[in-house]
């Protein structure tokens, strides 16, 4: 796929966002009628709302064994953690990669590997700041379990945040999906966790910015291969 410079600037808006954009625009009109300066404030907020619901085209790496980021945002932590119990996975620590999305990031989530959705589970909960580690355990979440085409058993968890009050998931159990395919979104500021299977090594580094559908977070090791997680530093 060849993308022009214009494609990177002008991107589609998710249809789920249009009711919010129209509501912001209507509020802007009312504010402008009350006082002109308020109208300018409303215009800025309406523009932000449209920006929030953007859904840009992404170019997804197709090499086998790669795990691609399911979310835009900051790679906040990488370390061992138990996967959500409602997915029926073995109760043992797995490497978890957590990505925090602020209100300026794209909030459309994408499937990280080619494979089949084997389980879906929604759990209501709190709305702590998604940047806190306890958000993975206590916040409202939508969890997906997936078996990749190379046999890896992974989990993807959408987590509501302090101002996120709605998790959307379009995936269906038993459906085969491709890496980079859209499966959901979260409104407005949130977090996505990915739990790796054995034999997968993280390639991301804490503090990096990730792009959903493009950034490689991890890969499967070849038989007999030994590898260590990457290190990085601020420069």
For 38-56, how does the pLDDT look when each residue is reduced to its tens digit (9 = 90+)?
A: 889 999 999 988 988 899 9
pLDDT tens-digit map of 180-199: 999 999 877 689 999 999 99
In a domain, residue 37? The reply is yes
In a domain, residue 225? The reply is no
In a domain, residue 233? The reply is no
Residue 164 has a pLDDT of 57
Residue 8 has a pLDDT of 56
Q: Residues for the chain: how many in total? A: 235
Closest to 123 (Cα-Cα) out of 94, 109, 106, 144: 144
> Do 9 and 85 lie in a common domain?
no
> Do 34 and 113 lie in a common domain?
no
Over residues 206-231, mean pLDDT: 88
In a domain, residue 132? The reply is yes
CATH code assigned at 87? 2.70.70
Instruction: Render 69-132 in DSSP notation, one character per residue.
Output: -SS-EEEEEEEEEPPPGGGT--SS-EEEEEEEE-TTS--EEE-SSSEEEEEEEEE--B---TTS
CA–CA dist 120, 49 (Å, integer): 29
> Do 93 and 206 lie in a common domain?
yes
In a domain, residue 14? The reply is yes
**Residues noted as catalytic:** 190
Residue 67 confidence (pLDDT) above 70: yes
Residue 163 has a pLDDT of 65
> Do 117 and 23 lie in a common domain?
no
> Do 118 and 93 lie in a common domain?
yes
Residue 204 confidence (pLDDT) above 90: yes
> Do 95 and 143 lie in a common domain?
yes
In a domain, residue 58? The reply is no
pLDDT tens-digit map of 75-86: 999 999 999 999
Q: Domain tally for the chain? A: 2
> Do 80 and 38 lie in a common domain?
no
> Do 86 and 201 lie in a common domain?
yes
Residue 3 has a pLDDT of 58
Over residues 102-110, mean pLDDT: 91
Closest to 157 (Cα-Cα) out of 186, 179, 129: 186
In a domain, residue 155? The reply is yes
Contact call for residues 55 and 72 (beta carbons, < 8 A): no
CA–CA dist 228, 201 (Å, integer): 7
Contact call for residues 207 and 232 (beta carbons, < 8 A): yes
Q: What confidence category does residue 111 fall into, taking pLDDT thresholds of 50, 70 and 90?
A: very high
Q: Which helix (H) or strand (E) holds 215?
A: none
**Which region, left, alpha or beta, applies to residue 174 given φ > 0 means left and ψ of -120 to 50 means alpha?**
left
pLDDT tens-digit map of 116-163: 999 999 998 777 777 777 777 788 899 999 999 999 999 999 998 776
Residue 7 has a pLDDT of 58
> Do 112 and 200 lie in a common domain?
yes
CA–CA dist 230, 34 (Å, integer): 56
In a domain, residue 232? The reply is no
Cα-trace Rg, the chain: 19
> Do 117 and 208 lie in a common domain?
yes
> Do 107 and 158 lie in a common domain?
yes
Give the pair of three-digit tokens for residue 190: 């949130």
Instruction: Please give the residue range of the domain that contains residue 41.
Output: 5-52
Q: What confidence category does residue 108 fall into, taking pLDDT thresholds of 50, 70 and 90?
A: very high
Over residues 62-78, mean pLDDT: 94
> Do 38 and 78 lie in a common domain?
no
């Amino acid at each position: 796929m060849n993308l022009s410079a214009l494609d990177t600037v002008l991107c589609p808006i998710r249809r789920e966002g249009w009711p919010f954009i129209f509501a912001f625009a209507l509020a802007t009109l009312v504010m402008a009628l009350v006082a002109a300066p308020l109208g300018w404030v409303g215009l800025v907020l309406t523009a932000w709302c449209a920006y929030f619901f953007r859904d840009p085209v992404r170019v997804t790496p197709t090499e086998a064994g790669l795990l691609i980021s399911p979310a835009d945002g900051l790679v906040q932590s990488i370390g061992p953690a138990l996967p959500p119990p409602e997915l029926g996975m073995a109760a043992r620590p797995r490497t978890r990669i957590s990505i925090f999305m602020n209100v300026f990031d794209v909030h459309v989530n994408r499937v990280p590997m080619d494979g089949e959705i084997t389980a879906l589970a929604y759990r209501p909960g709190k709305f702590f700041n998604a940047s806190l580690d306890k958000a993975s355990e206590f916040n409202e979440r939508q969890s997906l379990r997936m078996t990749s085409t190379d046999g890896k058993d992974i989990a993807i968890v959408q987590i509501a945040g302090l101002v996120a009050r709605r998790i959307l998931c379009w995936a269906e159990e038993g459906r085969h999906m491709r890496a980079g395919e859209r499966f959901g979104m979260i409104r407005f500021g949130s977090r996505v966790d990915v739990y790796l299977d054995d034999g997968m090594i993280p390639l991301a580094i804490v503090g990096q910015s990730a792009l959903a559908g493009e950034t490689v977070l991890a890969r499967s090791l070849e038989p007999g291969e030994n590898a260590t997680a990457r290190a990085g530093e601020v420069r």
